[in-house]
Amino acid sequence: MRKIQIFFFLLLASATLFASEVRPVKNLIVMIPDGTSISVYSAARWFKYYNGLGERLNIDPYITGTVTTFSSNAPIGDSAPTSSAYATGVLQQTGNIAIHPEVSDNDLFPVDAARTWQPAATILEALKIEKHKAVGLVVTCEFPHATPADFSAHHYKRNNYKALAPQIAYQNLDVMFGGGNGILTDDIRQHFANNGTTLIQNDRQALLDYKGERKIWALFGEKALPYNIDRNPDKVPSLAEMTGKALELLSRNENGFFLMVEGSQVDWAAHANDPATMINEFLAFDEAVGKVTEFAKADGNTAVVILSDHGNSGFSIGSRRCSGYDRLSIAELFGTVSKFKLSNNGLESILIKTPPEKIKSVFKEYTGIDITQEELEKLLSSKNYKETDYMKVGTSDNLAHNIGDILNTHTCFGFTTGGHTGEEVLLAAYHPQGDVPRGNIRNTDLNRYLQQVTALDCSLEELSDRIFVKHDKVFEGMSYSINRDNPDYPVLMVKKGKTRIEIPAFSSVAKKNGKPFDIGSVVVYIDKNDTFYLPASLRELF
């Protein structure tokens, strides 16, 4: 009973949240600094000030409130369900990518059991299908990672790249910039050749010089891009550079565009308890914010929403290790971290090749810190360097972890965990007429704002019920079977009279009597209920 009362109270609250008119715009940009707690904003701002880089962040003028972000059955969420809620308006469980969850005993709000496993249409899909807008994703992780997948794919398991990667490719995105060359398959490459997508690989200058009219993917690295602090600026573009190019290309579409930009690796640095890299990653994201807001203000028909998907690590400016830390100067708090030239992982890649007798000098070169003999021995005992006790090879820590531990003892930053945290996240927004969400809102309220500001005539739920229908309903009364020759990519075979269609899982291209045709949206196969989810309109082929 209490859950129901809370649910209806929040419904009433959200109903009044956007009571004033939200005037629609042509273009929508969503920016997500993944796993960024409020304290990271503070640290980045002080870091800039200490290093003479300015007093404010680019995001500062646009902060309007906070967002309570969570999973369907837990107050603390991971990127998959939290960004999925932004993209779809549907609360989901840990690991879910834009899909309706199972019912659980711990559901915070009612979950519709009848919809379990049904893919939930995203704002990207709706604007592409309903509004014919150009769509794009710009990230620093591999392209089927949780957040980009949340806007462009569907599955109950976020690490199933075999299901997610082809869906993203078959969405026929106008722009996809990020990492993941090692995830491309022959089928994806062939699809790019078939639909005229330009593929640029590990070539920063080719991306920045691109002036073509075709759809474009530009990928760097086998999986993710390097941390910004480790990035070779001559070979790997910054997030701001990729964002600027995406804006240039997407804005050509006369119907407007949707763009999602993710600062993917603030989250990863937080997991690693690596404050210098967290700050650097956020400042790289904030540089992209500057590009976006400059474009939006000049364009006059673009809305921008900026928010993290969840907190991470319990990061704090101040730690119990430092007695009297509330009296420390800005130099004492930010001087040491300002000397760090590489991430923990970046320094590991150098030290792992460094002879023991040179580790002290190399460590100081990249951090400014003279390590003690005890700290040196800790590095040497790392299981992926040189284990001094063979009995501890399987239990001692990796070099990157030990580097982080040593660096953190020389700062006054604190961490409570290496995982996600459940606090609200900052919300920032820009609208040419000032129609922005304010105060504290829920993640699902944010999605409703995205639908309103783009004037979607068809709700995401209605679109889901049109393009993600169970195959036994679409082809009721017809003869159908599932070809499982390739268990990762089953094919639905449907026959009626002389007409045969073949519909591969995780694709948007099917065959009618052997001739390929575009379905218009991706087909999702869920093995848990052995069901293909596809457009109801496919019945009209017979």
Largest CA distance in the chain: 82
User: For 431-435, what is the mean pLDDT?
Assistant: 98
Q: What is the mean pLDDT of the chain?
A: 95
- pLDDT value, residue 386: 61
Would you say residue 498 has pLDDT above 70?
yes
Give yes or no on whether 2-315+417-465 and 468-541 have one common fold: no
Q: Give the model's confidence band at 418: pLDDT under 50 very low, under 70 low, under 90 confident, else very high.
A: very high
Query: What's the confidence (pLDDT) of residue 107?
Result: 97
CA 140/CA 237 separation, integer angstroms: 10
At 20 the pLDDT is: 74
Report strand pairing: 531-534 vs 524-526.
Answer: antiparallel
pLDDT of amino acid 396: 57
Contact call for residues 115 and 96 (beta carbons, < 8 A): no
Residue 446 contacts residue 502 (beta carbons within 8 Å): no
Please tell me whether residue 316 adopts helix, strand or coil conformation: strand
CA distance 414 to 410: 11
pTM strictly above 0.75: yes
Contact 179, 221 (CB under 8 A): yes
Neighbouring residues of 36: CB distance < 8 A, sequence distance ≥ 6: 263, 266, 267, 270, 282, 285, 308, 311, 312, 425, 426
Mean pLDDT computed over 409-431: 97
Find the mean pLDDT for residues 513-520: 98
Q: Is pLDDT of 371 > 90?
A: yes
Judge whether residue 388 has pLDDT over 80.
no
Confidence band, pLDDT 50/70/90 cuts, at residue 5: very low
Domain residue extents for the chain = 2-315+417-465, 337-410, 468-541
By mean pLDDT, which of 219-223, 331-335, 350-354, 384-388 is the weakest?
384-388
> Which architecture, in CATH terms, is 2-315+417-465?
3-Layer(aba) Sandwich (3.40)
Name the nearest CA neighbour of 296 among 331, 257, 346, 330.
Answer: 257
Q: What is the CA radius of gyration of the chain?
A: 24
Sequence-separated contacts (24+) of 481-489 with Cβ below 8 Å: 482/530, 482/532, 488/162, 488/163, 489/162, 489/166
**Contact call for residues 345 and 356 (beta carbons, < 8 A):** no
> Across residues 251-258, what is the average pLDDT?
98
Please give the Cα distance from 167 to 161 (Å, whole number).
Answer: 10
Q: Helix %, strand %, coil % for the chain, to 5?
A: 40, 20, 40
Q: What is the mean pLDDT of residues 284-297?
A: 98
More confident residue, 16 or 113: 113
Indicate if the pLDDT at residue 207 is higher than 90. yes
Q: What is the pLDDT of residue 6?
A: 46
- CATH fold, domain 468-541, is Copper Amine Oxidase; Chain A, domain 1 (3.30.457)
